[in-house]
Amino acid sequence: MRRFNIRQLEAFRAVMLSGTTTGAAAALAVSQPSVSRLISELEGQFGAQFFIRQNGRLIPTQEAEWLFNEAQDVLARLDRLDNAARDVHRLPIGELKIMATPPLAYGFVPECLRRLRCTYPDLRVTLQVAFRREVRMLTDAQNFDVALATLPIEYPAPHSERLATFHGVCILPAGHRLTGKSVVEPIDLADEPFISPLPETLSRMRLDLLFDQVGVRRTRLMMESHTALMVCQMVAAGLGVAVTDPFTARAFAALGIAIRPFSPKIEYEYGLLFPLRRPRSQLAKEFAQAVKQCVSEYLQSGTDLIKGTAPDG
């Protein structure tokens, strides 16, 4: 079988994204027959049909979905190479690949990058936000310069550093009766519609253990989600109350949710990870230092990210 070429993959991706050969042709600045020919050649080389025509649109087959997933990484790397080739006259260019779990992506990364840009105005950044269930796979791939992760995580100690521990908070819909309390306790939430992480998540296990230890049963476990983002969105919609990390809660404060300290304390510990098989780049070191400085400033301020809560330095 003759090896397929990149142009065929580009045409295939364009059709997958646009749903038509006409749209793909416009995106690639080529003719519609050229796109059809490239797709036909690709199907011939794979010996598979990738699209079924239905009501004027091309519906991807299962084989097409498989190829699309396989080709994405290759095409993304080629896109980056193409961008680098266009910018080669601007070298040296600082480039930093960051991986961060959602709380730290919202809580620290933008401010740290703002500080780093003061020194590196042409700084190029790739930020991959990874949910906890994805972190193991991504750390194994080692495609990052520095990672900000929620601990604990299995990773060699010489290549990881603990940052700090912050406390979980209770989030409430605007105007909720519990907003009058300075600190919310488990007993306050016993009969409230409660929005939880999914049972298989570490956050859910911690919550269940805490409520069991204090002898409080949540009688109205109404909704579940695998992300703190969705939990906060559902609280903002008035669907219930929740306990989550302070960073994600703060990101949704503009939507009107009320944020209160929660006791007993649920700890969220965060750390830095560095690649195993190559030295730390200067950019990675400086970004890590900016993260540590941000954390230190939060802790030295005497209050946590949420007004009225104290950090556990």
Both structure tokens of 262: 């929660």
160/282 same-domain check: yes
Please check whether residue 240 lies inside any domain of the structure: yes
How far apart are the C-alpha atoms of 199 and 152, rounded to whole Å?
Answer: 18
pLDDT at res. 98: 95
Q: What is the CATH number of the domain that holds 10?
A: 1.10.10.10
Instruction: Tell me the percentage of the chain whose pLDDT exceeds 90.
Output: 40
Per-residue model confidence as pLDDT tens digits over 126-170: 999 988 778 888 888 898 999 999 888 889 989 999 998 889 999
- Looking at the domain assignment, is residue 307 inside a domain? no
Residues 48, 128, single domain; the answer is no
Q: Specify whether 26 is located in the same domain as 61.
A: yes
Residue of 121, 127, 130, 168 whose CA lies nearest to 149: 130
CATH label of the domain that carries residue 279: 3.40.190.10
DSSP 8-state symbol, 312: B
Q: How far is CA 132 from CA 59, 104, 231, in A?
A: 33, 12, 15
* CB contact at 8 A, 226 and 198: yes
User: Within this chain, do residues 160 and 176 fall inside the same structural domain, yes or no?
Assistant: no
Is residue 313 included in any domain, yes or no?
no
| pLDDT recorded at residue 123 | 85
The continuous run of DSSP H or E covering 161 comes out as strand 160-167
Same domain flag for 198 and 254: yes
At residue 311 the predicted structure's pLDDT band, cuts being 50, 70 and 90, is very low
Statement to judge: residues 160 and 74 lie in one domain = no
The token pair that represents 4 in the structure block: 């397929």
Q: Pick the last residue of a domain from 61, 86, 111.
A: 86
Contacts of 181-184 spanning 24+ positions with Cβ under 8 A: 181/260, 182/260, 182/261, 182/308, 183/260, 183/261, 183/262, 183/263, 183/308, 184/260, 184/261, 184/262, 184/263
Model pLDDT for residues 44-66, shown as the tens digit of each residue? 888 889 999 887 778 899 998 98
**Euclidean distance between CA atoms 167 and 151, whole angstroms:** 13
97 in the same domain as 67:
no
Last residue of one domain, picked from the residues 64, 86, 108: 86
Verdict on whether the full-model pTM lies above 0.75: no
- For residue 180, give its domain range: 169-264
103 — pLDDT class (breaks 50, 70, 90): confident
Q: Are both 48 and 36 inside the same structural domain?
A: yes
Number of domains present in the structure of the chain = 3
